[in-house]
Amino acid sequence: MSPLATGVGRVLIAVYGILALAATGRSVVQIAEDFAFAPFSYTLSAVAAIVYILAMVALIVPGRTWYRVACVTIVFEMTGVLVIGTLSLLDRQLFPDLTIWSYYGMGYAFAPLVLPIAGLWWLRKHHRVAAGQVPPRNAAVVDQHLGSAE
């Protein structure tokens, strides 16, 4: 498991999982029931679902490549939330129906706005560990314990 999946990282992964489920369910229902009513909104809901799934997986899987995937995905998410949130305030005609990112995620207690900020903070805080430049904090303790047993 990735060193990003510890402590606060576990909470981030759980919230990404919840939003992935919510966005997936929302987009499937919207697309299946009335895609013609708001195709742009419903497509954005599906994109958000993919972003949340990818971010969750990228935080779980260890390695530099997945760390980079997490960074790119979460920056994309933040950009989407800010752009769609702003557009939904400025031009309501663009969105005949809401997306998960409309009004900065107001329908989801602003979690879509807060989550990428927390995610980017977490990635920045652990960038050297995730890149393999330094061992995780508990690695020295494990090494000492294993070394003393020999």
Token reading at 113: 């706005």
User: What range defines the domain where residue 103 resides?
Assistant: 3-149
Q: What is the pLDDT of residue 127?
A: 74
Q: What pTM was estimated for this model as a whole?
A: 0.82
Domain count for the chain: 1
Between 7-11, 19-23, 74-78, the lowest mean confidence (pLDDT) is in 7-11
Confidence label for 146 from pLDDT (cuts 50, 70 and 90): very low
Extended strands (E) in the chain:
none
Angle between helices 39-60 and 111-125 (to 10 degrees): 30
